[in-house]
Structure 1
Amino acid sequence: MIPRAYPPDIAWDMPLPRETLTEVLEATVAAHGEKPALEFMGRSWRYAELGDMVARVAAGLRALGVAPGDRVGLCLPNTHFFVAAYFGVLKAGAVVVNFSPLMVAEEMAAQVADSGTSVMLTLDLKPLLPRVLEVLDNGGPLKRVVVCRFAEGLPAVKSVMFRLVRRASIAAIPHDPRITEFAALLKAAPITDPPMTTPEGLAVLQYTGGTTGRPKGVMLSHANLCANLRQLQAWCAEPRRTQERMLAVIPFFHVFAMTVAMNLAIAIGAEIVMQPRYEKKLVLAALRRRHPTMLPGVPTLFKALLDHGATREDLAQVRACISGGAPLPIALKHEFEAKSGAALVEGYGLTEASPVCFCNPLRGENREGTIGLPLPLVEAEIRSLEDPARAMPMGERGELCVRGPNVMSGYRNRPAETAATMTPDGWLRTGDVGIMDADGYVALVDRIKDLILVSGFNVYPRAIEEVLYTHPDVAAATVVGIPDSRQGESPAAFVELKPGAVPDEAALRAFLKLHLSAIQMPKLIEFREALPRTAVGKLSKKELREEIRTRLRENA
């Protein structure tokens, strides 16, 4: 059913081309070869140059023995190496497995073993390369490592300075037949063969964050990922006389950035202005150097831009600020829009859906407190928490379920978990509790696993977090449930204050009492200099839950 408030200029039932990600890149190279494709710290590559690099990387990987269907790991930050390697792997017919550069060796080895990754691309930086080499020596599936020299991706002067000033951060590359340099791949003659896979073929094994157990490999096909970028293209489309510029601060190894900041950008021929991580001076310099028009991010990124001095002039060219990866606090939305002059819209997705399913319209009503409307071809239902087969009436609370061409085929080697997450007719159970209104907008209440049962009543951490964010001294906040001998569970709030603010629990409790019921009031409030965050920068509850469990065991 098409939502009543669907934007009139977007066809919900739009046709989808049958294509692979490699074909998407090749079409852009053919149409926009002389346009800027990538920018990194002042160095640029045109689309024609990117296309040539990708074809050479594919040939180089094939020369190393990579065959169609093989798993190739990318353990890289946002650099031209990532983009060339990603599409080079796919052009060779192999499967990309994304690894966070922040992983410790043990985590990396577990994902290598689960995915069957045989080749890994990484950087010559400490401690990253030593960790990858440790996994290489473990005797598992990983048989070869390709090393990219970070300095070779910088402009000439910065490259020389990096080698001189940052020598201590560069890891030595051992003389080992199992190790190849990225530069050697580029010496291969470009592949000119037809695609080595089909739209239905596996493109990416994207591992979930593992917040509720072992990370699972989500199987995303070329068709899944291409569908999502075309859905987003339709949602974001707006005629422009100049080239779009995508500021890519969120990391490509995360599914949100992979699709929105990289794949979508390439599909529309945008220039991708890459940042290896969030660093205040470098991000502000990139804003002022390239004046991006599109800015995807997580709420903590938009908060950091405000706190670190991004001005209305810096963001003047931005037409699309899309927040995902975590709930967008309404207070932050108001503050960002007031100070930047740019509209900030909240979207929603999950790894299992490539990932984007919902977004507030860029042209139309940006309905606060909601994740917006479903993207084209995405069906959405709110289903009973007690009986997942029963759809709930409009306006009632239940589990958000989605179905569409962007939804995964399943988890690798996890049939039981696949069956628990996907219905036989293709509906994906998101695990998020939501309410759909008569216009089709969905407001998320919380994650099912995050619900706190206080004396038998459901307490939603997000409701408490929204109130905390309205306090003028609060920079970030997260709420989890803790055991309570009397009530079963109680909320615990962890708070990060703005610079210069003084912790005052009594004052904060007095403020909360004006807005929260007795069962919502946190039993515990702790102030932290910094709250734990995931690799993409969103607040993480996992570490706090584990810390509380450890504390309770020690005090037992």
Structure 2
Amino acid sequence: METTVGGLIRAAARRYGAKTALIVGGATYSYAALDEQSSILAAHLEQMGFQKGDVISLCAPNSAEWIISYYAILKMGGVVNPLNLMLTPKEVAYAMKDCGAKAILGAAENLAALSSLADEGMTATRIAWGEPVPKATIQFTDLQTWPADVEPEYPVSGLQAIDTCSVSYTSGTTGHPKGALLTHGAILMNVEMTSVMHARTHEDVIVSALPCSHVYGNVVMQSTFSHGGTLVLHAAFDAERIAQSIETHRATLLEGVPTMYMYLLNFGRLDQFDLSSLTRCTVGGQTMPVSKLEDVERVFGCPILELWGMTEIGGLGTTHTFYGPHKLGSIGIAMPHVEIRIAAVDDPTAPIETGQVGELQVRGPITMREYIGNSAATAEVLLESGWLRTGDLAYIDAEGFAFIVDRLKDLIITAGFNIYPAELERVIAAYPGVAMVAVGSVADDDKGELAKAYIVQREDAQLDLEDLRRYCRENLAAYKVPRAFQLVPDLPKTSTGKIMRRALRQLDSD
């Protein structure tokens, strides 16, 4: 295994050379090309005065330039700060200030939207690709030939596995987002163990629309390159284009979040595409109803491997193995060299018995070092014993398979009774005609809060909400039945396609 992430693409280029590594935006890139172009950019960054340990931000949709920039920053010894595209300019300014970013690379349209950063006290160097290039911004194309006095074999910086690789920011649903510091060793361990569990090889062709800036999308990208596969990357999710990519490139692996699969299932012409090359799919980022998982396996003709991960571990913490048994509805077992346990919600140091619901915790070489500049927040989630608190409510069965119940912060308390939105969503999703569902809460003077279901119906369906209410009464305890149902055209989602329950109230109708 390589000791640094920058060395990963260099080693892959030496092993696989002219083999196609990446297909994106209608263009094809070999392993050799990605290695050389990232080395050229690394040499320019070094000549511009950037040094080992400098933080450099990335802000752009999926593209070859994003990937080239990512490896270039790491090759010259820098620290990558991948930014979520949904951040506002002020949020970008906060993240860059917080981690001390000295430069930002990105698509011209994204950097143009950050023109106000100068007013926020930001003076970081800007490098952009695409048109039109904003003022006071260096053109990426000007940095695509070897700089003077630099040999065409750029030496990857002599970093170690314990050095910081990236600072990735949490979603910031409460207060300011926090920057998780991850080491090269942690990222590489996650990449290699993910590859082992999913049986990834040089024969794989992976289709993905997951943002490379997100930990899930990043581990998909790197595990593909680490083992010589071909990544067919989409800048945004579109059901028809994804289906066409699977057919055209004879994809063996499709990776996504639940909403992506639900859009595909709801795509009326999916049966017109040849999906027979798929040998497996992966899904993570959020729980997915078992009924929909069963639909995916039936329609796609291959197993779907559920997984779980988070920013603070740089990728996956649990998953199913490709060759081993898998239980639909479970997030799988702990990754190799990683431990998981369930602890009491009111005492994170106290593990609880098998089958009981508590907070999921993870420990091992993949956990973050700290939240940058925030020792108090670090101490809240990273225990002295090394266990990382995740904020997810879960249980582990007798065979070691973990099941997510819900996010602790999404728990709805009705007249003293606990309601887990994910449980309601699993039941409602099984009702004929439901394409997607999310459950949120509404305030109630007597009971504190009540559950409300927001439903997207299938294109070919006409839902009877009263019949759905009766169905819920037959399948849920009385206090769990949503007190309101609302049909909506779509659900609010993050840049990765994850449903944002906190934004559901914006959909409320009069």
Residue 232 of structure 1: aligned partner: 194
Residue 67 of structure 2: aligned partner: 83
Q: Secondary structure at the match of 1:512?
A: helix
Give the Å deviation of 1:502: 3.4
Distance (Å, rounded) in 2 between the aligned partners of 1:385 and 1:35: 50
Residue 115 of structure 1: aligned partner: 99
Q: Secondary structure at the match of 2:479?
A: coil
* Aligned residue among 469, 474, 477 for 1:517: 477
Q: Secondary structure at the match of 1:542?
A: helix
Q: What's the CA shift string for 1:101-153, capped at 9, x where partnerless?
A: 3333222222222222221112233xx24213332x3252342211112xxxx
Q: What's the CA shift string for 1:508-538, capped at 9, x where partnerless?
A: 2112111111110112222211110010011
- Whether contact under 8 Å (1:62, 1:92) holds in the other structure is yes
Residue 246 of structure 1: aligned partner: 206
Give the Å deviation of 1:500: 4.3
Give the Å deviation of 1:402: 0.9
* Aligned residue among 322, 329, 350 for 1:369: 329
TM alignment of 1:154-553, pairs within 5 A: 171-174=131-134, 176=135, 178-187=136-145, 188=147, 189=150, 190=152, 192-237=154-199, 243-259=203-219, 261-308=220-267, 309-311=269-271, 314-502=274-462, 504-544=464-504
Give the Å deviation of 1:342: 1.6
Q: Secondary structure at the match of 1:138?
A: helix
Give the Å deviation of 1:351: 0.9
Give the Å deviation of 1:414: 1.3
Q: Secondary structure at the match of 1:218?
A: strand
- Whether contact under 8 Å (1:116, 1:141) holds in the other structure is no
Alignment length (residue pairs) = 505
- Whether contact under 8 Å (2:362, 2:390) holds in the other structure is yes
- Whether contact under 8 Å (2:211, 2:496) holds in the other structure is yes
Q: What's the CA shift string for 1:46-65, capped at 9, x where partnerless?
A: 11111100100101112222
Q: Secondary structure at the match of 1:417?
A: helix
Q: Does 1:130 align with 2:88?
A: no
- Whether contact under 8 Å (2:306, 2:332) holds in the other structure is yes
Give the Å deviation of 1:185: 1.4
Give the Å deviation of 1:346: 0.8
Residue 14 of structure 2: aligned partner: 30
Residue 146 of structure 1: aligned partner: 127
Give the Å deviation of 1:381: 1.0
- Whether contact under 8 Å (1:60, 1:184) holds in the other structure is no
The one-letter code sitting in structure 1 at the alignment partner of 2:75 is K
- Whether contact under 8 Å (1:120, 1:142) holds in the other structure is no
The TM-score with structure 1 as length reference comes to: 0.87
- Whether contact under 8 Å (2:197, 2:320) holds in the other structure is no
The runs of 5 or more residues in structure 2 that have no matched partner are none
* Aligned residue among 90, 111, 114 for 1:106: 90
Q: Secondary structure at the match of 2:95?
A: helix
The one-letter code sitting in structure 2 at the alignment partner of 1:203 is C
- Whether contact under 8 Å (2:6, 2:156) holds in the other structure is no
Q: Secondary structure at the match of 1:464?
A: helix
Moved more, 401-410 or 478-487: 478-487
Moved more, 477-486 or 462-471: 477-486
Q: CA, structure 1 residues 248+547, in 2 after alignment: closer, same or farther (shift >3 Å)?
A: closer
- Whether contact under 8 Å (1:112, 1:142) holds in the other structure is no
Give the Å deviation of 1:262: 0.8
Q: Secondary structure at the match of 1:252?
A: coil
Q: CA, structure 1 residues 194+85, in 2 after alignment: closer, same or farther (shift >3 Å)?
A: closer
Q: What's the CA shift string for 1:454-477, capped at 9, x where partnerless?
A: 221211111101011011121111
Q: CA, structure 1 residues 547+422, in 2 after alignment: closer, same or farther (shift >3 Å)?
A: farther
Give the Å deviation of 1:325: 0.5
Distance (Å, rounded) in 1 between the aligned partners of 2:388 and 2:233: 32
- Whether contact under 8 Å (1:494, 1:527) holds in the other structure is yes
Q: What's the CA shift string for 1:407-428, capped at 9, x where partnerless?
A: 1111111111111101012101
The one-letter code sitting in structure 1 at the alignment partner of 2:308 is Y
* Aligned residue among 43, 63, 71 for 1:59: 43
The TM-score with structure 2 as length reference comes to: 0.94
Q: CA, structure 1 residues 440+56, in 2 after alignment: closer, same or farther (shift >3 Å)?
A: same
Give the Å deviation of 1:22: 1.3
Distance (Å, rounded) in 2 between the aligned partners of 1:184 and 1:109: 26
- Whether contact under 8 Å (2:278, 2:300) holds in the other structure is no
Distance (Å, rounded) in 2 between the aligned partners of 1:139 and 1:464: 44
CA RMSD of aligned residues (A): 2.0
Moved more, 331-340 or 279-288: 279-288
Q: Secondary structure at the match of 1:246?
A: strand
The one-letter code sitting in structure 2 at the alignment partner of 1:75 is C
Q: CA, structure 1 residues 425+191, in 2 after alignment: closer, same or farther (shift >3 Å)?
A: farther
Q: CA, structure 1 residues 396+281, in 2 after alignment: closer, same or farther (shift >3 Å)?
A: closer
Q: CA, structure 1 residues 237+501, in 2 after alignment: closer, same or farther (shift >3 Å)?
A: closer
Give the Å deviation of 1:257: 0.4
Moved more, 307-316 or 204-213: 307-316
Q: CA, structure 1 residues 545+213, in 2 after alignment: closer, same or farther (shift >3 Å)?
A: farther
Q: Secondary structure at the match of 1:356?
A: strand
Q: Secondary structure at the match of 1:407?
A: coil
Give the Å deviation of 1:352: 0.8
